[in-house]
Structures are given as C-alpha cells and as structure tokens.
C-alpha cells in the first residue's frame, strides 16, 4: 500500500508542477498544445480508478468474502448509501484534482490574454501552492480509503 500511495503523490505533484513551471509554449506541435497532464479528465479518472481497484483488492486480500459485510455496516438500512459511496469516491477524487488544475490553467491563460506581464503572477503562485496541496490530498484520501477497507 505504501509504495502505491507514494507513487501517486509523486506522480501528481511532479505532473502539476511541471505543467505550471516549464515554458511548454516553446515546443510547437502540429495540433493541440502541451500543458499539465492532469488537466485532462481522463488522466485523473484513471488515477482514481486505480485507487478504487486497489482498495477493493486490499479488502479482498484481508477479509476474503467477508469483505461484503461492510456494505451492511452499521445497519442494513445503509446499503444503498454504501453502494453509492463506491461510485462517488473515485468521482470526487478525480473531479477535485481535475477542477483545480484546469481552473488554474484557464485563469492564467485568460489573464495572460488580457494583461500580459505581471498580473498573472499571483494567480500562478496560488496555482503552484494549490496544486501541491491537491497532490497531498489525493494521496491522503487514497491511503485513508485503502486503510478503511482493510479493517
């Protein structure tokens, strides 16, 4: 579990910071443009599906078929809520990361369009800070979900 969470954190952290700091505009592609990999919903959904698969796997390895008992805890009335939680966990993880990175990129590009030189700088600093916090939050939540399914 620990190497997985560490890899997640490092990947997201380096991806966000590279997307924000390196001048990708210098490399001209025939179509499309280069930016942070996490500004596409597909990347973040892939990462959160990895987390989802790994907490199912961890639960099965620890408890075998008794894993399904967690759907009926604490009371059987919670069954639809617990099933829904299986879908909303990866959804919220992916949207949180995607929204933060894409929103910062859009704000920086719109500000650069309007007032080029100094005004986008505070937003870029906020983006750097927020993207590192988001990497930490993603990794912490993944560790929390995996730990919760193992006990």
Partner 1 sequence: MNPIVSGASVVAAGLAIGLAAIGPGIGQGTAAAQAVEGLARQPEAEGKIRGTLLLSLAFMESLTIYGLVVALCLLFANPFAG
* Residue 149 lies near partner 1 (rule: CB under 8 A): no
Which residue in the set 34, 45, 102, 124 belongs to the binding site for partner 1 (CB under 8 A)?
Answer: 102
Reduce the secondary structure of 72-109 to three states and give it as a string. Answer: HCCCHHHHHHHHHHHHHHHHHHHHHHHHHHHHHHHHHH
Dist. CA 120–CA 25, nearest whole Å = 16
Binding status of residue 37 toward partner 1 by CB under 8 A = no
Site for partner 1 in 55-74 (CB under 8 A): none
User: Looking at 5-13, 47-55, 70-78, 97-105, which segment touches partner 1 (CB under 8 A)?
Assistant: 97-105
Structure letter (DSSP) for residue 116:
-
User: Which residues in the 128-147 window bind partner 1 by CB under 8 A?
Assistant: 130, 133-134, 136-137, 140
- Cis check for the bond before 2: say yes or no (omega within 30 of 0): no
The CA distance from 109 to 105, in Å, is 6
Residues binding partner 1: number (CB under 8 A): 15
* Site residues, partner 1 (CB under 8 A): 92, 95-96, 98-100, 102-103, 106, 130, 133-134, 136-137, 140
């Amino acid at each position: 579990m620990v190497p997985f969470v560490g890899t997640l954190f490092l990947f997201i952290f380096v991806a966000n910071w590279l997307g924000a700091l390196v001048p990708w505009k210098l490399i001209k592609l025939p179509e499309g443009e280069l930016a942070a990999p996490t500004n596409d919903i597909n990347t973040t959904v892939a990462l959160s599906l990895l987390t989802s698969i790994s907490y199912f796997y961890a639960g099965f390895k620890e408890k075998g078929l008794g894993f399904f008992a967690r759907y009926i805890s604490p009371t059987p009335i919670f069954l639809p809520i617990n099933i829904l939680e299986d879908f909303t966990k990866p959804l919220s993880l992916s949207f949180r990361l995607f929204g933060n990175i894409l929103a910062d990129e859009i704000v920086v590009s719109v500000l650069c369009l309007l007032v080029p030189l100094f005004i986008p700088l505070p937003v870029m600093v906020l983006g750097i800070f927020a993207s590192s916090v988001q990497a930490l939050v993603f990794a912490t939540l993944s560790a929390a979900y995996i730990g919760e399914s193992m006990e």
